[in-house]
Amino acid sequence: MRLLRRSSQVFSALGALIYSPAAKSVRVLSTGSAFITTARTPLVLANDHSCKNTQFRAMSDEQAKAQTATPEEDTIFDKIVRGDIPCKEVYSDDRVLAFHDVNPTAPVHIIVIPKNRDGLSQLSKAREDQKDLLGHLMYVAQQVGAKECPGGFRVVINDGKDGAQSVYHLHLHVIGGRPMKWPPG
Ligand code: AMP
């Protein structure tokens, strides 16, 4: 796609992106649709795999955080496990803690984490000796999901920058309470 920048207007093959500094907004004008979003919301150009359906969509806060998030010595989830910051707990045992997500994406959005991170900053760092813990995390996720979302639920693990991971402490999202869409973004 050829983009031509001219002062506050950006034209594309799809239509025009018009930035208004006063309104702090970006207006996307295209042949089929238009939407307004704040300029502080990063915009990403999304392609489907065929590259035929190119469209602009707003990047969520979590996606934006995931662009810069890196593994940390002490994560927000470590602080929750220690009780340094509060959480709305839904399940706890000697290895696993589950609590409500502070920024839910659905009526039910629960985070399931290992209490002892032990190098499990993300799923792709899992060691063979952690298979049992991984199974237990999945089991707790289904227990919580079945209880909170009798109509069904989704379990998501984001991994790394491209996987939109923002907290580098392995966690499963249990999401439900409404019909889920597919495919995910
Ligand atoms: P991810 O983007 O997969 O790394 O997901 C991290 C999740 O942690 C996001 O859904 C956040 O809303 C959630 N989160 C961040 N801080 C807290 C917190 N203090 N309590 C509960 N959930 C949190």
Q: For residue range 29-85, list pLDDT tens digits in order.
A: 333 323 223 333 343 333 333 333 334 446 677 778 888 887 778 999 999 999 999
pLDDT of residue 23: 41
Q: Which residue has the higher pLDDT, 161 or 21?
A: 161
Instruction: Give the model's pLDDT for residue 56.
Output: 42
- Residue 59's pLDDT is 67
More confident residue, 12 or 162: 162
Distance 103 CA to ligand 1 centre (A): 7
Could you identify the atom of ligand 1 that is nearest to the CA of residue 100? 21
Q: Could you tell me the distance, in angstroms and rounded to a whole number, from the CA of residue 21 to the centre of ligand 1?
A: 31
Work out which ligand 1 atom sits closest to the CA atom of 166. 4
Q: What's the CA gap between 86 and 105, in Å, rounded?
A: 20
Q: How far apart are CA 64 and CA 176, in angstroms?
A: 23
**Average pLDDT of the segment spanning 17-23:** 41
What residues form DSSP beta bridges with 26? Answer: 19, 37
Ligand 1 atom at minimum distance from 163 CA: 3
pLDDT exceeds cutoff 50 at 171: yes
- Give me ligand 1 centre to Cα 74, in Å: 14
What confidence tier does 7 reach under pLDDT thresholds 50, 70, 90?
very low
Whole-structure pTM value: 0.72
Answer whether residue 6 shows pLDDT above 90: no
171 is known as an active-site residue: yes
Cβ < 6 A, ligand 1 pocket: 62, 66, 76, 85, 87, 101-103, 111, 158, 164-167
How would you classify residue 35: left for phi > 0, otherwise alpha for psi between -120 and 50, otherwise beta?
beta
Coil, strand or helix at 2: coil
Residue of 68, 79, 157, 166 to mutate, ligand 1, most atoms within 8 A of C-beta: 166
d(CA 80, CA 99) in angstroms, rounded, equals 9
Determine the pLDDT at residue 185.
81
Q: Contact 90/98 with Cβ under 8 angstroms?
A: yes
Q: What SS3 state is found at 33?
A: coil
115-164 per-position pLDDT tens digit: 999 999 999 999 999 999 999 999 999 999 999 999 999 999 999 999 99
Identify whether the C-beta of residue 59 lies closer than 8 Å to the C-beta of residue 42.
Answer: yes
